[in-house]
Structure 1
Amino acid sequence: MVNPAWLRSFCTLVHTQNFTRTAEQLFMTQSGVSQHIKKLEGFLGASLLDRDANGFELTEAGRRLYQQAQPIVDSLAHLQEQVMADPPHQGRVNVISPGSVGLQLYRHLLGFQQQHQGLIIDHRFAPNGSIESAVVQKHADIGLMTQIPQHPQCAFNDVGREQLLLVTPASESVPSLSALEKLGFIDHPDGHHHANLLLSANFSDFSSSQQIPVRGFSNQIGLILEPVSLGLGFTVLPQHAVASFAKPESIRVHTLSTPVYEPLYLVTSATTQRPARVQVLLEEIRAWLKSG
């Protein structure tokens, strides 16, 4: 492979048309420049310069080499600048979160992307275990979790909490546990976990979500309240998921005597240096959670 330093000396010489000025620009000796040209000619097996008493002219091989070499020399000259460039509002950021907070967060991030259209935001929904794995495997730059990550390669901060809400059809008045058992439960991936947390804190006769018959299941966060709105059962969801439902008049959110909250943790890789664009989006998400 040709030595880039030889190419740089050759292209500079073509610009200056003078060995002495080339040596000065490159902080070399004149003999050093001459050696680079000779080595380049030896490597290519072709004469690059026609020398005479007044200086030199490029040979045909020299002209072709200059046309090919100058873009390479220019690219190498800007290599460090390109490698070290870290623009705060350009490039892809991969975000992964639970569906509940993600429903409203994604809308906010789209607004942020409108302001900084050099950003590419990839936002996906997943359960806690998948979120942790995605951060560890570098598939996600930023994760939101409702449980503390256990993997040592995860760094996390407590950034807020989300209230769990009991949601029934609009026709349901103040619910008793017996009324909920009769109504039945609309399950979802975190359904039994959420139900156990909220119902155990508010109904003394509640022992386990297993005592309540399941009337349906959905793993799509935006669809869990559809069967509830049709009178097919009740469910327990985080507040962001309830706030995002398109038909609030068809459901009823009940205020229970003991509020229950689920924590939110902002999760990143503990082993990877964050690009500026990731840091900017982290700060934006923190500010949004704080304002909410």
Structure 2
Amino acid sequence: MVELGHFTRTAERLHMTQSGVSQHVRKLEEQLDTQLLVREGKQFSLTDAGQTLYQQGGGILQALQQLQQAVRQDPPFAGVVRVTSPGSMGLKLYADLLDLQQQHPQLVLDYRFTSNSGVEQAIAQLDSDIGLMTRQPTLSEVHSHKVGQESLLLVTPVQSPSLTWASLTQLGFIDHPDGAHHASLLLGANYPEFEYSEPLSTRGFSNQISQILEPVSRGLGFTVLPAYAVDAFTRPELIKVHALSVPVSEPIYLCYRRKSALPQRVLSVIDVIKTLL
């Protein structure tokens, strides 16, 4: 309109009537309580206020258009993706997810290692986009579905002569935050003595998932760990992994906030995680 400086030509370009164009301008002037145009028949020019509105309003309209485009954008490999999981799964997934980030430099991976309850709380409190748990969540805000399973393994020093209950008792247990739970699942399924014997003597404890097998490798005891943690140990020649007669696995659940609209970048990471698991 401003470029044309003519009501009739403006109306033709906008596919409106001339009176309709004039009416819109008058309503805008009433709203702003100032004159915007100097009318000269069917022609017009801008007042100082009109020139200010034209210049600054054009910038605002352009910014709104850019904002609209930015809001609509949902790139599959750009932006921050926040993931939480127990340590064992983190050892399995973290390096491969970093490979994905290297392939897509605009993707930013924020990976936190925590317990099952920590994963659940992080998702419920909107501190994490997705999480992995070895049990189903109990909080109503968290949705989950099973995406895999992870074997529990009995690990002893490489020189351990036998797997009798007496030899394990003598060797002693290297505990960790999930040690009692994992031992109950695997040992309880394979050793009747586990239910009624004296508790296993604890020969050590570590809360660092990558360090739990260090005392085992030095002959200080045995432990029960998820397979991904065992696979990540850097000196496998110093430990011995035993296949027991009754295998035991933990389910793996992918979790996210219920009723959330996951952006494409999060869905892309979920696809990779499902492939890896």
Moved more, 205-214 or 165-174: 205-214
1:277 aligns with 2:265: yes
Residue matched to 2:246? 258
1:68 aligns with 2:52: no
* 1:110, distance to aligned residue in structure 2 (A): 1.0
| One-letter amino acid matched to 1:264 | I
Q: 1:131-280, aligned counterparts within 5 Å?
A: 131-207=119-195, 211-280=199-268
| One-letter amino acid matched to 1:238 | P
Give, in whole Å, the separation in 1 of the partners of 2:183 and 2:196: 8
Of 9, 17, 28, which residue of structure 1 is paired with 2:5?
Answer: 17
* 1:49, distance to aligned residue in structure 2 (A): 3.4
SS at match of 1:164: strand
Q: Which runs of 5+ in 1 are unaligned?
A: 1-12
Moved more, 209-218 or 130-139: 209-218
Name the Cα RMSD after superposition. Answer: 2.4
Moved more, 37-46 or 193-202: 37-46
Instruction: Verify the 8 A CA contact 2:172 2:203 in the aligned structure 1.
Output: yes
Question: CA deviation digits over 1:88-109, x for unaligned, max 9?
Answer: 2222221111110111201111
Instruction: Verify the 8 A CA contact 1:167 1:236 in the aligned structure 2.
Output: yes
Moved more, 41-50 or 239-248: 41-50
Question: CA deviation digits over 1:6-43, x for unaligned, max 9?
Answer: xxxxxxx2244333444455554433433343444455
Q: What's the % identity of the aligned pairs?
A: 52
Residue matched to 1:121? 109
Give, in whole Å, the separation in 1 of the partners of 2:51 and 2:63: 19
Give, in whole Å, the separation in 1 of the partners of 2:273 and 2:97: 8
Give, in whole Å, the separation in 1 of the partners of 2:173 and 2:15: 79
| One-letter amino acid matched to 1:113 | Q
Residue matched to 1:31? 19
| One-letter amino acid matched to 1:236 | V
Residue matched to 1:93? 81
Give, in whole Å, the separation in 2 of the partners of 1:147 and 1:268: 14
Moved more, 78-87 or 250-259: 78-87
Q: Which runs of 5+ in 2 are unaligned?
A: none
Structure 1's 16 and 169: CA in aligned 2 closer, same or farther, altered over 3 A? farther
